Chains A and B, each alone.
Chain A
């Protein structure tokens, strides 16, 4: 048992390190390291331009989307090489945030279902960051129940074979700066909900698309509503067969769950640091047994996640598929982050009310964390959906009884029509 690279991994790491050392935008390093919680603050630099420049540079040298085949803009690298790249790229990896959905989820879906010609046209610019993609999945009436989506795709009446899209998507990250998207729609409302869906890809510049940013509860805007009014998509941009959209979307979501190695932050190191500085009546907070007990609980969660990740990497290193234990990450880190923020606030007492980074302890980090953390427990699968996934796919417990499973979609009761 050891944490060492194999000789081949060590050679690869050295090559990666040398290239990054020679090419990374070092002037941004300090700002990237102090950014967090959905905000990338780079002094005097446009984050989008910086992100695209770094991605382009990587692509030109063959370091973009490492695990993709070379002909689509990748490097044909192994999963463990991709992880090593990620470890070495930190903190510059934060610049790639706007590409994660496109490269992590849309790209693999296009790769699995588009024509060869389309793959050669769209994947290399996606890898190089020249075209940003988003994913048009969630809807106001379909969040956890994604298959309950209602955006319609109907054959055009002019006999062209095109599809006409009407409806609304929500929670679309980055729609306002995306060039392309994958879109899941309902093509047949008369069959049960999972069976009437079809997937497409399209340009976000297509006429009839309207994008409205959502102002979030914490005051920021990272997501959008996207409205479709008679948007026309050629049939050639369909991904998978008509009615197979659910199956296609599972490819997308599976790729989301396979991406590992990044490791979610729980905020524990920052809290520990705060406890070593903050004075109470009986000395430093970290010396108080009650504080220590709480800290120990979050410490073992944080360490446990770290080493769960290492176990997955070990499987990758041996060329195996990681086990299901990796599915616990967000379920542990999300609630921990929220509890840690609340406890850090409690330690600060009245002063914890102040969120101004210029005045608040740790530059207002815990206040920002407090206000952002509710989203972490919802986005990409709520805590409750994640528990269902563990219970059903890992422990083998029965799926929920789904009263709408065999009912034609247009006869399922909804909040709107009761």
Chain B
């Protein structure tokens, strides 16, 4: 039994933690949150230099050519630091779509730039409120041109290109959906920055007026590729959430030790202790479920879809639970702009939605467990 990250992988995580502690204190997160600056460019350049933007990209495309376990430990540190950079868009989504379905030419054109941090990529599929299903994707693709709009696109304001889910055959079923690679710098694309619950990570509306686009993967396979890539991204995001949950728990614990009320540290009251113990329980379950996902991702196990949904549901629960109760432990101070609690609260709620809602993933988890039991 070796259900643990290797010493080398842990060392890589420790290195990432040291780097982020120096380059990404919460003041850096606030700098993005409180200004028009869409992301921390210096941090992004530093991450590229460390090789963290191309961990799983093969060496022939300028990446480190390492495995997903290495990427998981880095994702955890990015979550812990609330890094205000397009890491998840570029690394968990754009890179994964290219690796899963890109042609050799598309990979050669974009992967080296992604690895070097010279290009930022993202993914766009949502068009309206409510869960994204094949029926809700109505942006039209015809003769290599896209017409329609996508909303809440992460890093849509700054990305150089996006993978866009579009309807290439009329109707409502999943077989009419294809993926397209679209350069966002062209004039047929209009970007509108959106006001969001977590301004430390930018989101935009993208309007396509006959924008030039090239097919990514086979026509009509868009939905199935999307599901596969989302499973992978869910596991990587789970580690980001695990990192955030751990840090929120630590903040709550530290404050409970230091804050005095009624003549004693508030951490000596059982009401506070039990709240923190329950946060520890959620964080521990999420970590163990995350390891399950990491194992499935790194080995390509047949269980990957259910492992992904398990990791995702558990990590979303844990980060939301720890972030909201961290504010509760802090009392009134936790609701001030000056304290960092809200940074974690905002991020936990952003990450709970960015790959589809919790109820969507709960539904997937049970459907997948059922399919496995029936098999």
Q: Which residues on A are within 8 Å of B, measured CB to CB?
A: 1-5, 9, 80, 272-273, 276, 286, 289, 292-293, 295-297, 299-301, 303-308, 310-311, 313-318, 325, 328, 331-332, 384, 386-388, 390-392, 394-401
Contact = CB atoms under 8 A, between A and B. Distances in A.
17 contacts: A3-B2, A5-B1, A296-B309, A297-B362, A299-B310, A300-B289, A303-B289, A316-B1, A317-B2, A328-B285, A331-B277, A388-B274, A390-B280, A397-B273, A398-B264, A398-B265, A401-B264
B84 to A, nearest CB: 29
B267 A307 contact: no
Contacts of B278: 387
A311 B267 CA distance: 29
Nearest to B273: A391
A299 to B, nearest CB: 6
A387 B273 contact: yes
A308 B285 contact: yes
Interface stretch (B19-27, B116-124, B184-192, B291-299): B291-299
Interface string B309-344: 110011001000000000000000000000000000
Contacts of B365: 292, 296, 299-300
Given A286-B370, A307-B288, A391-B277, A317 B1 contact: yes
Highest count of chain A CB atoms <10 Å: which of B5, B270, B309: B270
A9 B1 CA distance: 9
Highest count of chain A CB atoms <10 Å: which of B1, B272, B278: B1
A394 B280 contact: yes
A1 B265 contact: no
B257 A397 contact: yes
A334 B274 CA distance: 16
Contacts of B366: 286, 292, 295-296, 299
A3 B299 CA distance: 11
B12 interface: no
A395 B363 contact: no
Interface string B268-292: 1010111011101100111111011
Interface in B1-37: 1-6
B359 A307 contact: no
Contact of A303 (B265, B292, B298, B370): B292
Interface string B232-256: 0000000000000000000001001
Contacts of A301: 285
Contact of B270 (A308, A315, A332, A400): A400
Contacts of A325: 284, 287-288
Given A314-B3, A395-B280, 12 more contacts: A4-B2, A292-B366, A292-B367, A297-B362, A300-B313, A300-B317, A304-B285, A310-B1, A316-B1, A331-B281, A396-B253, A399-B268
Interface band, chain B: 35 or more
Contact of B257 (A308, A314, A396): A396
B274 A387 contact: yes
Contacts of B367: 292
Contacts of B6: 1
Highest count of chain A CB atoms <10 Å: which of B274, B280, B359: B280
A177 B256 CA distance: 48
Interface string B25-54: 000000000000000000000000000000
Nearest to B286: A304
B373 interface: yes
A308 B2 contact: no
Contacts of B295: 1-3
B285 A1 contact: no
B69 interface: yes
A397 to B, nearest CB: 4
B369 interface: yes
Nearest to A397: B267
A112 B313 CA distance: 45
Given A2-B295, A292-B363, A325-B284, A398 B289 contact: no
A111 B274 CA distance: 35
Contact of B274 (A300, A384, A399): A384
A311 B288 CA distance: 8
Highest count of chain A CB atoms <10 Å: which of B3, B257, B361: B3
B280 to A, nearest CB: 6
A253 to B, nearest CB: 19
A401 B363 contact: no
B3 A307 contact: yes
Contacts of A308: 284-285, 288
Contacts of A1: 2-6, 69, 291, 294-295, 298-299
B1 A305 contact: no
A389 B289 CA distance: 23
B286 A397 contact: no
B286 to A, nearest CB: 7
Nearest to A328: B281
B359 A293 contact: yes
A392 B273 CA distance: 8
